Amino acid sequence: MFARHNRLFGLFYLCSDLLLALVSFGLAYEIRARLATARPLYPLSNYPWIVPLAIVLWMGVGVAAGIYREVHEEDLRRTSTDPLKVGIVSTLLLFALTFALNLYFVSRLLLGLYALIDLLLTIAFRLLARRFAAPLRRSVAGFRNFLLVGEGRDLAETARTLEAHETHGMRIFGFVRVGAGPRDAESLSRGLAKSYPAFALHELPELLRRHVIDEVIFAVAQEDLEKLGEAFLVCEEEGVKTRILLSFFPQAVSRVYLERLGDKPLLTFSATPEDELLLLKRVLDVVMALAALLVLSPLLLILAVLVRLTSRGPILFRQTRCGLGGRKFTLYKFRSMRPDADLRREELEALNEVDGPVFKIRNDPRCTPIGRFMRKFSLDELPQLVNIINGDMSFVGPRPPLPEEVEKYERWQRRRLRMQPGLTCLWALEGRSQLSFRRWMELDLEYIDHWTLALDWKILLRTIPVVLLGRGAS
């Protein structure tokens, strides 16, 4: 399914959920107002902001959870689980806000009824949409006829994908041969549910002129692109949307899109998340870091005093680490080791318990007593809130490595440097210091490839009990 088609259908679901939320609040208000056993209800005119606040929360959580990014109405399980997840998180946020702001005049029963009605209506709508998925998708994106240009396995796979979505309005008109060898329609249609007509390349202008063709997909070899310049020009002059299958590029995980430098088109491959979403991640990081510094300031002061009183040396440990793209920055920690720790590393090298370029010992003899306690519960990492505010780090992301570790990376491992380093990531949930180096790198790349704001929140929430229980730390 084309990404743009999915975005259109996701927008349709978003607008539908917005309408359902408005209806749900109206129904909840009417039901609550008619309950004789409940306390008198204030009119909505006393707090008109509650309706947009509740709806923005519901829609915002849904967008953050990614339920509108890819809609799979054929998946019966997600029909109920997606609205349920959004409903639970949104309801908790709504009640938390009313309690935090001491909004005693807002009926808790009204909010509870709204959450329940909206959940039921949303699930009912998705079940209905699932029943009428094909006509719904056709109404959103319309019927489209595709002409496929090329030959071979890539062309056949493209045709099979389009056939699988024929109920969504996608129809294959036929094939256009590029090679000079004789091929008939039957050989081009091999492995497909239907047989389609085959044409020669010189027939393309006449096909576009005399038939309704909405899109042309070129699935050709790299060496054939040069002789297709006239075919591309014909498609442009006819105003027909043209797509090129980029199977001859060796990318595995990169997203491909077109950008312009001035008036020059650039085909862009990116193996990291989009900059616009990372900007939102950055804003959230700064807000959360400032709030955490304010709330945790008494604890930070206590830890600083304990470090100073229990061993000689500075309170903070400063170390050069590699950040985004390999940029070097100074990382801050509460000092957890004796001042001569770096000098003793060479004599302890044989005790290293981690493979790869990383050095870790479970019961490191260089640790001070208070340092061992802080490391067990990751309290020594708290000064890195300053690194987050400075823009060197994020709350969630690959851990920032030492420059000498980066020098020993294999090529595939270097891609982890293309994401802002963080305090925690997927490795913290699977075993922290107990993981092999290779598995650690694989989890970091898995995080980058599947990154969303919802994934960040999931990792943060699951990291809290891991840290409080001191599991997997060394």
The DSSP result for 49-93, as a single string, is THHHHHHHHHHHHHHHHTTTTS--TT-HHHHHHHHHHHHHHHHHH
One domain, residues 129 and 164: no
**Does residue 336 fall inside a structural domain?**
yes
One domain, residues 343 and 453: yes
One domain, residues 286 and 404: yes
One domain, residues 430 and 292: yes
One domain, residues 234 and 153: yes
Q: Count up the domains in the chain and report the number.
A: 3
One domain, residues 434 and 464: yes
**Predicted confidence (pLDDT) at residue 179 exceeds the cutoff of 70:** no
**Does residue 260 fall inside a structural domain?**
no
Number of neighbours of residue 251 by Cβ within 10 angstroms? 12
CA distance 30 to 35: 9
Contact by Cβ (8 Å): 240, 210: no
Token reading at 390: 């400075």
Specify the CATH number for the domain of residue 150: 3.40.50.720
How confident is the model over 75-115, as pLDDT tens digits?
677 778 888 888 888 888 888 887 777 777 778 888 889 89
**Does residue 127 fall inside a structural domain?**
yes
**Does residue 417 fall inside a structural domain?**
yes
Name the domain boundary from 205, 231, 248: 248
One domain, residues 421 and 288: yes
CA distance 47 to 51: 9
Determine how β-strand 328-334 pairs with β-strand 264-270: unpaired
What confidence category does residue 316 fall into, taking pLDDT thresholds of 50, 70 and 90?
very high
Q: What is the mean pLDDT of residues 430-437?
A: 71
**Does residue 258 fall inside a structural domain?**
no
The closest of 356, 438, 322, 340 to 348, measured between CA atoms, is: 340
Q: What is the mean pLDDT of residues 176-205?
A: 71
Name the domain boundary from 110, 136, 162: 136
One domain, residues 210 and 349: no
What separation, in Å, do the N-terminal and C-terminal C-alpha atoms of the chain show?
Answer: 46
**Predicted confidence (pLDDT) at residue 384 exceeds the cutoff of 60:** yes
- The one-character DSSP state at 308 is H
**Does residue 100 fall inside a structural domain?**
yes
Name the domain boundary from 79, 114, 136: 136
Range of the domain at 412: 275-468
For residue 365, the model assigns a pLDDT of 77
User: In terms of pLDDT, which residue wins out, 130 or 371?
Assistant: 371
For residue 4, the model assigns a pLDDT of 58
Question: What SS3 state is found at 255?
Answer: strand
Token reading at 138: 């056709």
**Predicted confidence (pLDDT) at residue 303 exceeds the cutoff of 90:** yes
One domain, residues 362 and 446: yes
One domain, residues 413 and 314: yes
Number of neighbours of residue 258 by Cβ within 10 angstroms? 8
Alpha helix locations (H) across 394-473? Answer: 403-407, 426-430, 437-449, 453-468
How confident is the model over 318-348, as pLDDT tens digits?
999 999 888 999 999 999 888 777 666 666 6
Element (H, E) at 243: strand 241-244
Put residue 152 in one of left, alpha, beta given phi > 0 → left and psi -120 to 50 → alpha. Answer: left
The closest of 405, 385, 357, 426 to 287, measured between CA atoms, is: 385
What confidence category does residue 188 fall into, taking pLDDT thresholds of 50, 70 and 90?
low
**Does residue 299 fall inside a structural domain?**
yes
**Predicted confidence (pLDDT) at residue 250 exceeds the cutoff of 70:** no
% of residues, the chain, pLDDT over 70: 81
One domain, residues 434 and 285: yes
One domain, residues 147 and 116: no
**Does residue 266 fall inside a structural domain?**
no
Name the average pLDDT for the chain: 81
CA atoms within 13 A on the CB side of 224: 20
